[in-house]
Amino acid sequence: MSLPHEIGRRRTFAIISHPDAGKTTLTEKLLLYGGAIQVAGAVKAKRGRASAVSDWMEMERERGISITTSVLAFPYRGLQLNLLDTPGHADFSEDTYRTLHAVDGAVMLLDSAKGVEAQTRKLFRVCRQRAIPIFTFVNKLDRPGRDAFDLIGEVESVLGIGVYPVTWPIFRGGTFRGVWHRVRQRVYLFDKEHATSSSTAGAERPPVEVTGIDDPAVKEALDERGYDQLRHDAELLEAAGDGFDSAKFEGGQLSPMFFGSAVNNFGLEAFLETFCELMPPPRARPSDQGPVEPARPEFSGFVFKIQANMDRAHRDRVAFLRICSGKMVKGMKVRHVRSGKDLRLANPTVFMARDRTTVEESFAGDVVGLHDTGTLEIGDTLTEGSSFSYEGIPSFAPEHFRRLALVDPLKRKQFARGIEQLAQEGTVQLYRPPAGRTGDLVLGALGQLQFEVVKYRLEAEYGVEVRVEAVPWQLARWVHRADGQPLDPAALHEAVEGLVVLDVRQRPVVLFDREWALRSAEKFHPEYVYAETASGVVVRGA
């Protein structure tokens, strides 16, 4: 097949949500409908039931939450879907931010009873800044929830984006019975008895009866009150709003909305089919040399995630690469732009969570895993020879700080290797004293749970037991000179009232123990810029 054809088949997206909105369940069910799995696993593993496919880390299976991004590639009706399942927990939002740089669209999942929640707002802002298409799926219609019109109003007012309901919920006596697909003018009725009486409720695709809104069978299935409500809602929707605007949708200004229940699979088939019709293929990516089109023949891509020990038997390290242009072929030689050195892509792989398969070729839009010995970093650009860089992936100032005390001093070498590896992954931010100075290693994180993950992984993957201890630091800022000249850490140490350290990429950082110290530094030493984020690449065409 031709390069444009293969690129045109790719659909790369993420699911974003507040914790407990049902994100991992929705992910599993999309895999079920895509044929990637035959029976969906339970989100919280119970005796005799499978754990969620997308949660491959042992700690995720124990807690029933997602704490690291999983890459899930599967075909569906002639398309290649690349789903990046991201952590829903706010403590791991930086991993989600990085992942959103690698997708071409997102599904925003809402709890029908809770609507737009705090974490949803944060992640939506990242999507909005990148102007990527956003689908909205209102979940948990099998439970009591809020009025659908109220939810539309909340999304529009709180998030500032237009909403076009593509499907609409249908009820009988307060029980969710199906959806009306406005675009297709079809009613999807669900067999509720199948979902409630089966021992594998929600684990298989439910029987669906598809018919028109005027079919007498619809009125019979809903009873008179439910049918009258459907008719009333349909008339309101058609009278109230404009038609669907594809340009606004692809620019991130209009969100198609769907309703359903992921746990029962109700409404998912209608959503997935419409998603495949509306979701755009890969688009041009901004770089420091201007936009790079996906159909550009030269291969290029960037690293957005690094994960160690996915295969604990081999202590491997995998760099996740988003291909942005051209075609990648197994064994090809590529340019590592940051170092200027050439690398050979010996065994690129695609993923289904932890499971991996070596691929001979991949195309723009695909996400592949590269075996890495420590050369690659998050944000690195690989090309087939050109020297340009894709936009940098920002690091965010942490909100919590700790130090780790080693329980067994004889494990110092394993500890150093493990904490360095986890910092390079972005699991936690690591700060160390500049050359010539002594002091403790300090860890920074956006959420407290990140420290638990570090402690757990050090013990499980590196055999190192540590204690997590408090430190006085409350704020961190990346610092550089306002005039663009090289920064002298010793001079910075003399100037500000804080701890001068270097992050894992050797960028100067100052840790402050209170807000007043930061404000004083900004006031009395304006020769320095104190930044809450660190990126590193200025792009054109963004």
Strand 317-325 to 367-371 pairing? antiparallel
Tell whether 413 and 379 lie within a shared domain.
no
DSSP state of 360: S
Q: Which of 87-96, 180-189, 292-301 has the highest mean pLDDT?
A: 292-301
**Residues facing 529 on adjacent strands:** 480
Residues listed for the chain: 542
Determine the Cα angle at 101 with ends 99 and 103, to 5°. 80
Does residue 539 fall inside a structural domain? no
Does residue 234 fall inside a structural domain? yes
Does residue 291 fall inside a structural domain? no
Does residue 501 fall inside a structural domain? yes
pLDDT band at 52, cuts 50/70/90?
low
- Identify the domain containing residue 309 by its residue range: 300-383
Does residue 98 fall inside a structural domain? yes
pLDDT of residue 85: 73
Is residue 341 over pLDDT 80? Answer: yes
Tell whether 442 and 469 lie within a shared domain.
yes
Q: Which element (helix H / strand E) includes 234?
A: helix 216-240
Q: Cβ contacts of residue 170 below 8 Å, gap of 6+?
A: 176, 177, 178, 179, 180, 187, 189, 222, 226, 230
> Tens of pLDDT along 470-481?
999 999 999 999
Last residue of a domain, one of 383, 416, 435: 383
What CATH number does the domain containing 176 carry? 3.40.50.300
User: For a pLDDT cut of 70, what percent of the chain falls above it?
Assistant: 86
Does residue 268 fall inside a structural domain? yes
Tell whether 342 and 257 lie within a shared domain.
no
The domain total for the chain is 3
Determine the Cα angle at 306 with ends 328 and 508, to 5°. 120
Tell whether 114 and 244 lie within a shared domain.
yes
Q: Which amino acid is at 240?
A: A
CB atoms within 10 A of CB 344: 9
Is residue 389 over pLDDT 90? Answer: yes
Tokens of 287: 């770089």
Distance CA 447, CA 401 (A): 9
Tell whether 431 and 361 lie within a shared domain.
no
Tell whether 457 and 328 lie within a shared domain.
no
Tokens of 393: 């992936």
Q: Tokens 């992640």 identify what position?
A: 123
Last residue of a domain, one of 215, 244, 278: 278
Tokens of 158: 């709180």
Tokens of 374: 């420590």
User: For a pLDDT cut of 90, what percent of the chain falls above it?
Assistant: 56
Tell whether 470 and 515 lie within a shared domain.
yes
pLDDT of residue 535: 67
Per-residue buried b or exposed e for 24-43, using 16+ beta carbons within 10 Å of the residue's own CB:
bbbbbbbbbbbebbeebbbb
Does residue 312 fall inside a structural domain? yes
Is residue 337 over pLDDT 70? Answer: yes
Q: Cβ contacts of residue 373 below 8 Å, gap of 6+?
A: 317
Among residues 304, 252, 239, the alpha carbon closest in space to that of 82 is found at 304
Distance CA 157, CA 429 (A): 35
**Which ranges of 464-526 would DSSP assign to H, the alpha helix?**
489-495, 515-524
Tell whether 363 and 407 lie within a shared domain.
no
Tell whether 11 and 110 lie within a shared domain.
yes
Distance CA 89, CA 16 (A): 10
CA within 13 Å, CB half, 374? 9
Does residue 323 fall inside a structural domain? yes
